[in-house]
Amino acid sequence: QDNNKKGHSVNPAASEDGISKGLANYGDRGFSLFLRKAFIKGAGYTDSALERPVIGITNTGSSYNPCHGNAPQLIEAVKRGIMLAGGLPMDFPTISIHESFSQPTSMFLRNLMSMDTEELLRAQPMDAVVLIGGCDKTVPAQLMGAASAGLPAVQLITGSMLTGSYRSERVGACTDCRRYWGKFRAEEIGAEEIAEVNSQLVASVGTCSVMGTASTMACIAEALGMTVPGGASPPAVTADRIRVAEQSGTIAVEIARKRLTIDKVLTEKAFENAMRVLLAIGGSTNAIVHLTAIAGRMGFEMDLKALDRMGRETPVLLDLKPSGQHYMEDFHHAGGMATLLRELKPLLHLDALTVTGRTLGEEIEAAGPGFKQDVVRTAKNPIYPQGGIAVLQGNLAPGGAIIKQSAAHPKLMEHEGRAVVFENLEDMANRIDTPDLDVTADDILVLKHIGPKGATMPEAGYMPIPKKLAIAGVKDIVRISDGRMSGTAFGTIVLHVTPESAIGGPLAYVQSGDRIRLSVEKRELSLLVSDEELARRRAAKPVVVPTASRGYRKLFLQSVTQADQGVDFDFLMPPMTTKIPKT
């Protein structure tokens, strides 16, 4: 057992790194290491290879996930980076989640992916990990899991898809998917055209090309300091993206050697920077839930009111759909996050550490001076004067609700109207397009039971405009629900009403004909019904909280928290120690 000559060590006392990491089984550490090495050598490794820092790589490639369609090339480049820096790459599969291939919702699976990621980082010996994620839920799941596992970690984004072209008009998923579908529903275009555009909306592998949740989480990951500089914006199929992958591998070896664990990067300051960026990019509302969940894993509790205050002094600078005009590849050509961060500098904690071992401020300096471009506005000439997202409060949402004001209709943001209520998704599907639906453009559509427990929180908050209004040319109407909406969607849409209707939040007791007041200016969401009347309705029809008899769904319904806590599972969250943002 004392043969620890370099290249032939099976002495577990020799090192707690690399392949010897975490040897606890069999009660005989020497034998455990001996076995472990014997098995891995079955794949042809030499002792010399096995004595290097081991860098895990999460392989989230899947035929069901075209947003990760470049995973094989990325893994190859990450491995190159790791080996050039003297490490040993070990890729392994985890769950992969695509928005369109995840029933009942991708949100249902996010926490499962975070648990899968966390436990595989714990179970398998590695000194650092490169997390390859891109599609909406994957990056949050990976950051949640890695935050809990506590290893040194680098996030590698798969990158956005290229834009396509339909009859010379530039198109990209999925703001244009919605725009064309709206035209089809309004009978402005026919079956042939909608079928033709379907082939052009997703022009390559990679994530949605607008500022949806995937792009938002990419920017947030870079703002958190979790990617290499410039890691957010290169499209999936570009040489720049492959170079980012190689650099991510190299950095992973460095942070393994320096033991730069994730808690040194995911600090309060990093989260505040991420919130600034979320507000300034007109980012997806989903990102609030995800950021809350990631922060929660570090014991930081998101203060939505403080976030709203931050929003009042953080203008939207990024001119990307759905709040603006451009696509992710244009953002990349305009310098990507360096251009945005340079403009946001006065609002950022420049001393926050990144995975490079340098601070965010140092990385902004290293990116060099800005240049003329038209995608990132200056603070003096913003695309929207306040942050993209506002937090609403009132008797309809005692725990808060949010609205993406930068993608809402200015006229509807101060609005009082009559509620047209749908009890659940099925009720809405059955009635929304019927010619006798009693609805006008001044009404407020209310959809219940699409919260975390009600329906595992689908992106159904973007309710369609009732067909008869759509044909009459109505493009927007106030909509309120306890669900989410896609980051690629637009409209005057109130989301994440907390507490949700399925657990008896006030939303459960709204009836058609009630009056509701929305004032984004005052941050108000009020149901104009007396407390006595609400109490009467509550007593007359108490809610039955959904449960399940077995499996992951049972775990989900037992443990899932509300939107203001990140929709994480209660048992995955440590005690909260600090409120953020402090600002």
Residue with Cβ nearer ligand FES (214 or 340): 214
Among 113, 214, 364, 383, binds ligand FES (CB under 6 A): 214
- Partner interacting with residue 135 (select from ligand FES, Mg ion, none; CB below 5-8 Å by kind): ligand FES
State yes or no: residue 135 binds ligand FES (CB under 6 A): yes
Surface-to-core class of residue 583, CB atoms within 10 Å of its CB (0-12 exposed, 13-18 middle, 19+ buried):
middle
CB of 96 to Mg ion, least distance (A): 15
Among 79, 98, 290, 321, binds ligand FES (CB under 6 A): 98
Comparing every residue's Cβ against Mg ion, the nearest one is 486
Among 33, 50, 74, 208, binds ligand FES (CB under 6 A): 208
Centre a 10 Å sphere on the Cβ of residue 111 and count the other Cβ atoms it contains. 26
Residue with Cβ nearer Mg ion (175 or 213): 213
State yes or no: residue 308 binds ligand FES (CB under 6 A): no
**Backbone CA torsion sign across 306, 307, 309, 313:** positive
Question: By rule CB under 6 A, what count of residues binds ligand FES?
Answer: 10
Residue with Cβ nearer Mg ion (198 or 547): 198
- Residue 281 in contact with residue 316, Cβ under 8 Å? yes
* Helix (H), strand (E) at residue 169: strand 169-171
Which SS3 state, helix, strand or coil, does residue 22 take?
coil
State yes or no: residue 133 binds ligand FES (CB under 6 A): no
- Residue 380 in contact with residue 403, Cβ under 8 Å? no
CB of 496 to ligand FES, least distance (A): 20
Which are the contacts of 477, defined by CB distance < 8 A and separation ≥ 6? 412, 441, 443, 444, 445, 465, 466, 469, 491, 492
Centre a 10 Å sphere on the Cβ of residue 34 and count the other Cβ atoms it contains. 16
**Which of these segments, 40-48, 191-199, 207-215, 547-555, binds ligand FES (CB under 6 A)?**
207-215
Q: Which amino acid is at 404?
A: K
- Partner interacting with residue 62 (select from ligand FES, Mg ion, none; CB below 5-8 Å by kind): none
CB of 56 to Mg ion, least distance (A): 27
CB of 67 to ligand FES, least distance (A): 3
- Residue 217 in contact with residue 171, Cβ under 8 Å? no
State yes or no: residue 99 binds ligand FES (CB under 6 A): yes
Which DSSP string do the residues of 306-339 spell out, in sequence order? HHHHHHHT--B-B-BTTTSSB-HHHHHHTTTHHH
CB of 334 to Mg ion, least distance (A): 23
- In angstroms, the CA 53 to CA 65 distance is 30
- Partner interacting with residue 508 (select from Mg ion, ligand FES, none; CB below 5-8 Å by kind): none
State yes or no: residue 392 binds ligand FES (CB under 6 A): no
Task: Enumerate binding residues for Mg ion (CB under 5 A).
Answer: 99, 136, 212-213, 486
Which H, E and C letters describe 204-242, residue by residue? Answer: CCCECCCCCHHHHHHHHHHHCCCCCCCCCCCCCCCHHHH
Instruction: By CB under 6 A, name the binding residues for ligand FES.
Output: 67, 98-99, 135-136, 173, 207-208, 212, 214
